[in-house]
Structure 1
Amino acid sequence: MTQPDPQAGDAPVCPRHPDRVAYVRCQRCNRPTCPECQVPSAVGIHCVDCARKSSSGRPGLRTALGGTAVAAARVTKVLVGACVLVYAGQMVYPALTGWFDFVPALAAGQPWRFLSTALLHGSLVHLAMNMWALWVLGNTLEPLLGRWRFTALTVLSALGGSTAIYWLADPMTPAWITGTVGASGAIFGLFAAVFVIQHRFGRDTSTIVGLLVINLVISVLGANISWQGHLGGFLTGLAVAAIYAWAPRNRQTAVGVWGTVGVAVLLVALAAARMFLL
């Protein structure tokens, strides 16, 4: 069997070691990288140069999905901190929950509830579980997507979860006047994004699929769990992540921006349509 010759230019070679064939590409800069220069990450391989630039916080480095590489998951930290502070407020002043949770019967007149509900939680255990998931997923996705894409993905997934609750709640049942709280819709959107990105770059998705199946089963069979919100967040996360993952490389920013706007407009239109039909 004939081996590719790096000198003949018929195989990709590592920029740092031109004498070595490298079929693995960095998921941030897309350059070939040999085993010596590979730095494993949660969603794939980075080259040693990108890993160093990211860790030093140097601006301008682009990820494989078109985002600006970041050294720290600051948005994730802000979201976790906000949820913890809001929960502390709920403990001090319980009426806060009633002002900001998502109640389908109140959604038309108080639309802020579509998003504010994601900052509320029903118990310390509920908060701890969601914040652990947000921390793990955020530290995986934010450096890869960049801050604005990660923020958009999280916010739209939360909105998608509330929109699904709004559509699937029956006005003739107690669900119509029951409040829902939690960041679970947003978190399911982040789970969906991990799956999409791993699939896009040919990574093993069996672990994330297993976690999703377990969580979806718990959502359906568990008591006092809004499977509708989880489903809506998951489907929204799939759509947004697919836009980012499959955007043409030379148009990633434009496709990302307009795709994000498109999903946002669609969700608002769905909510408005539900209000109109009631």
Structure 2
Amino acid sequence: MSTHPQPPQDVPHCPRHPDRVSYVRCQRCGRPACPECQRPAAVGVHCVDCVREAQAGVRQVRTASGVVVRARKPIVTYAIMALCVVGYLMQLFVPGFSQAFVEWNLAVGHEPWRMLTAGFLHDTSNPLPVHLALNMLSLWFLGRALEPVLGHWRFAAVFCLGVIGGSVAQVLLSDPTTSGWGASGGIFAIGAALLVELRHDRQSLISMAVVLGINLVYGFTIGANISWQAHVGGLVTGLILGGIYASGTKVKNREAYHVACTVLVGILLVWLGMYLGFQAWDAYVGMAYAS
């Protein structure tokens, strides 16, 4: 008569996946944990429930803007870069595309969207996309540093409002017939906001300040076709937004406070740009009639 070993009656099963047998137990609670629910620990493994419970009791580290510190892919940075490349290709192959979306001082009052769309267009007069390449390289470096700190929507706001702020400064400080394009206003806003974050976190500002200073001076001196007005406008806008995002530590709902302030800054910039655009148009028409 032959005998066969009987299967064990009390086989441990993973509590999260009852159909899975597991002889590995969590070092904290002692419950079985299947491979999907195991998390490596200093000694043995922990189950996902114990890991979640431990993390809930740990105080989250936040940046100066109140954003929880964690690894974030700079998806907004990449999206802006992609839009700039698409805009450049549209400029090359779609007749009249640049003229429809470029920032033109005389048209800003009637077509305020130009203050933003111009930030995604670049100079096509050079056979090589030098203007686009330099701006995208700067955006790639600065965006990867700032976007994880501010979070996605704040970073997008800094770039877009920086572009608009640069356009407003161009309408204010340049000839009424001037037109311009490029992402430099938004890039200067990103650099300025990063400068505020570094200052608030008590980190060294020298490198960032030197880079911004060199690029700002370059626009005043060497580059005949570079709009220093847009650089100044973007810089000021970035400093304002950076200061807003680093403030409000005593506000109960800091996220809502940042949203409200961002919307207010955007409305003021658009209104100011349109007002200055209408003023430039009236001045130009008056000069035309006088002559």
**Is the CA contact 1:104–1:165 (under 8 Å) kept in the aligned structure 2?**
yes
Question: 2:101 maps to what in 1?
Answer: 100
Question: 1:214 maps to what in 2?
Answer: 214
Q: Distance in 2 between matches of 1:203 and 1:214?
A: 20
**Is the CA contact 1:70–1:147 (under 8 Å) kept in the aligned structure 2?**
no
> 1:248 is paired with a residue of what secondary structure?
coil
- Compute the displacement of 1:275 (Å): 4.0
Answer yes or no: is 1:145 the counterpart of 2:159. no
Q: Distance in 2 between matches of 1:81 and 1:247?
A: 33
Question: 2:255 maps to what in 1?
Answer: 253
Which of 107, 130, 134 is equivalent to 1:125? 130
Larger relative contact order (CA 8 Å, sep ≥ 6)? 2
Question: 1:265 maps to what in 2?
Answer: 267
Q: CA RMSD in A?
A: 1.9
Question: 1:56 maps to what in 2?
Answer: none
- Compute the displacement of 1:272 (Å): 3.4
TM-score of the aligned structures, taking structure 1 as reference length: 0.72
Question: Taking structure 1 as reference, are residues 220 and 127 closer, same or farther at Cα in structure 2, changes over 3 Å only?
Answer: same
Percent of aligned pairs with the same amino acid? 38
- Compute the displacement of 1:234 (Å): 0.5
Answer yes or no: is 1:202 the counterpart of 2:207. no
Question: Taking structure 1 as reference, are residues 81 and 165 closer, same or farther at Cα in structure 2, changes over 3 Å only?
Answer: same
Give 5+ residue unaligned stretches, structure 1. Answer: 1-52, 54-60, 171-175
**Is the CA contact 1:115–1:159 (under 8 Å) kept in the aligned structure 2?**
yes
- Compute the displacement of 1:247 (Å): 2.2
**Is the CA contact 2:241–2:262 (under 8 Å) kept in the aligned structure 1?**
yes
**Is the CA contact 1:244–1:255 (under 8 Å) kept in the aligned structure 2?**
no
- Compute the displacement of 1:62 (Å): 6.9
Q: Distance in 2 between matches of 1:206 and 1:184?
A: 21
Greater C-alpha Rg: 2
- Compute the displacement of 1:255 (Å): 2.2
- Compute the displacement of 1:178 (Å): 3.1
Question: Taking structure 1 as reference, are residues 204 and 116 closer, same or farther at Cα in structure 2, changes over 3 Å only?
Answer: same
TM-score of the aligned structures, taking structure 2 as reference length: 0.69
> 1:80 is paired with a residue of what secondary structure?
helix
Give 5+ residue unaligned stretches, structure 2. Answer: 1-51, 53-59, 283-291
Q: Deviations over 1:230-260 (max 9, x none)?
A: 1001100000011001221554213211211
Q: Distance in 2 between matches of 1:86 and 1:72?
A: 23
- Compute the displacement of 1:94 (Å): 4.6
Q: Distance in 2 between matches of 1:62 and 1:160?
A: 32
Question: Taking structure 1 as reference, are residues 111 and 62 closer, same or farther at Cα in structure 2, changes over 3 Å only?
Answer: farther
Q: Distance in 1 between matches of 2:92 and 2:271?
A: 35
How many residues of Structure 1 are paired with residues of Structure 2 in the alignment?
A: 214
- Tell me which amino acid in the other structure corresponds to 1:160: G
Question: Taking structure 1 as reference, are residues 241 and 260 closer, same or farther at Cα in structure 2, changes over 3 Å only?
Answer: same
Q: Deviations over 1:15-41 (max 9, x none)?
A: xxxxxxxxxxxxxxxxxxxxxxxxxxx
Question: 2:88 maps to what in 1?
Answer: 87
Greater CA drift, 148-157 or 253-262: 253-262
- Tell me which amino acid in the other structure corresponds to 1:78: A
- Compute the displacement of 1:265 (Å): 2.0
Question: Taking structure 1 as reference, are residues 261 and 267 closer, same or farther at Cα in structure 2, changes over 3 Å only?
Answer: same
Q: Please identify which structure carries the higher helix content.
A: 1
Q: Distance in 1 between matches of 2:212 and 2:274?
A: 30
Question: 1:241 maps to what in 2?
Answer: 242
